[in-house]
Amino acid sequence: MHKEADIRLPLILGDKSYKDITEDIVKPIEGKAPKTWYLLFMISVVIALWGVGCIVYLLGTGVGVWGLNKTVGWAWDITNFVWWVGIGHAGTLISAVLLLFRQKWRFAINRAAEAMTIFAVMMAGLFPLIHMGRLWLGYWVFPLPNQFGSLWVNFNSPLLWDVFAISTYFSVSLVFWYIGLIPDFATIRDRVTKPLAKRVYKVLSFGWTGDAKAWNRFEIVSLVLAGLATPLVFSVHSIVSFDFATSVIPGWHTTIFPPYFVSGAVFSGFAMVQTLMLILRKAYKLEAYLHVKHVEYMNIVIIVTGSIVGVAYITELFVSWYSGVEYESYAFLNRATGPYWWSYWAMMTCNVISPQLFWFKKLRTSLMFSFFMSIVINIGMWFERFVIIVTSLHRDYVPSSWSYFHPTWVDIGVFMGTLGIFFVFYLLFSRYFPVMPIAELKTILKSSGKNYKEGYGHGKGYWDKHAEH
């Protein structure tokens, strides 16, 4: 058993046993769904259907139904794409990077955050596909032998790197998530009594037995997958930033983009985890497993990544002046004072100023404030991508072609629709899948559980002295 200092706050509160952990996490799956779940699910389904309708309309009519024009050729579509990919960065970061750093508090959030990652990356992938206009030719992005002569995709292009990065990221995250889920599905399989549920979980659990060798392999697979996923997480958003950074548009052509995008992605990903988990813990009565300390840890990650983002914004401004390139300088001056000043300042307020409030312990340990901030950050990070994309494009080198972007109802509908689809998936996940890793929470019970830390009334440190090995 790994010993933990007494001054560390326990990660699992209350008087929990192994049995309680199983009970607490499986109960919401076995019982009937509450009315609010059905209500939220219906709302999400309606929004999702509206979004699907918008996508079908877009595909049937053409990309012209979006508000794009000759100057602003990329707008909400790519903004949404980058926003969703960014959100999809927290899950694997939590389970991979925090695993390598042996951060045990990750167990409260990793399962749900990985699910969020997978659904968010699915939503992200949708945008480049529908942006092609001809969805059914989407497979052209892969280097497949074809009948068009020796026509291959261009491996020099960051857009192709993106194809590889995002499909690798999606599939590896999915595998990572599922491998963690198998033992927990086995727990549910061995508990449920309804015949249909038993059969379904039997298939899902792949016949997991939990023998010593299987757990031995499980731990190594998790570790190696974490080792592989860690550089993968950093590569994905770096490559997304290359889509912009390798172009010659003033405002995009900057070497600071990769680290700036990666920290922005982690920043927004953690914010989304907070938004979802703060509701989930209440709805599923999992307050003992995800409490103020976990939220505080997440808020610390938010301060760090938010500050990196802030420094990046300011560096960018400084370099645009210091470079002496007038187009570069103008691009940034125009962002802050041009027709899109409101989006620039929304971004600055939400992403640079507001996370600094978390330096106050009172604020970063307040659940209500954290929830509010998580929404603010999500909005801010959407504006960041909007600012980068639209304000850099809308005034190009020829003033006669300067323009302004107005989203149409299809732009808005598709974005709202992806939110709807995301929540449909997420609600289904939280209804049928274990939202916290049951097996892994059991491994930290004796080192980080409140009852064990306090020695069951024997006083602190009792088990350190009296543990039998």
Partner 1 sequence: MADKVIYAMYDDDDTLMNGAKHLVKEGVKVSDVYSPMPLHGIDPIIGVEPTRLGIAAFLYGLTGTMLAIIGIRYMMIIDWPMNIGGKPNFSLHENMLSFVPIFFEFTVLCAAHGMAITYLLRNKTLPGMPARNPDPRTTDDKFIIEIKSSENAHIEDKKLSDLIKSTGFIEIEEKKY
Hey, which residues between 226 and 285 contact partner 1 (CB under 8 A)?
228-229, 231-232, 235, 239, 242
Beta bridge partners of 449: 12
Report the C-alpha gap between 432 and 246 in whole angstroms: 43
Give the tokens for residue 127: 């945008």
**Residues 144-173 interacting with partner 1 (rule: CB under 8 A):** 150-156, 158, 160-161, 164-165, 167-168, 171-172
If one asks whether residue 208 binds partner 1 (CB under 8 A), the answer comes out as yes
CA nearest to 276, candidates 436, 416, 160, 400: 436
Report the C-alpha gap between 118 and 122 in whole angstroms: 6
Residue 227 neighbours by CB under 8 Å, 6+ apart: 96, 100
Minimum CB distance to partner 1, residue 243 (Å): 12
**Residues 126-145 interacting with partner 1 (rule: CB under 8 A):** 143
* Contact (CB, 8 A) for 180 and 95: yes
| Per-residue binding letters, 421-440, with partner 1 (x by CB under 8 A) | -----------------xxx
* Contact (CB, 8 A) for 316 and 254: yes
**Residues 44-73 interacting with partner 1 (rule: CB under 8 A):** none
Minimum CB distance to partner 1, residue 214 (Å): 5
Minimum CB distance to partner 1, residue 108 (Å): 16
**Residue selected from 56, 224, 300, 314 as contacting partner 1 according to rule CB under 8 A:** 224
**Residue selected from 39, 56, 100, 203 as contacting partner 1 according to rule CB under 8 A:** 203
Residue nearer to partner 1 on the CB measure, 122 or 375: 122
If one asks whether residue 205 binds partner 1 (CB under 8 A), the answer comes out as yes
Transcribe 227-259 into DSSP letters: HHHHHHHHHHHHHHHHHHHTS--TTT--TTHHH
**Residue selected from 57, 206, 371, 372 as contacting partner 1 according to rule CB under 8 A:** 206
- Stretches 18-26, 256-264, 341-349, 382-390: which one binds partner 1 (CB under 8 A)? 18-26
Report the C-alpha gap between 270 and 438 in whole angstroms: 22
**Residues 98-117 interacting with partner 1 (rule: CB under 8 A):** none
If one asks whether residue 17 binds partner 1 (CB under 8 A), the answer comes out as yes
* SS3 of residue 430 by DSSP: helix
- Stretches 87-95, 107-115, 200-208, 407-415: which one binds partner 1 (CB under 8 A)? 200-208
Minimum CB distance to partner 1, residue 111 (Å): 14
CA nearest to 227, candidates 176, 165, 294: 176
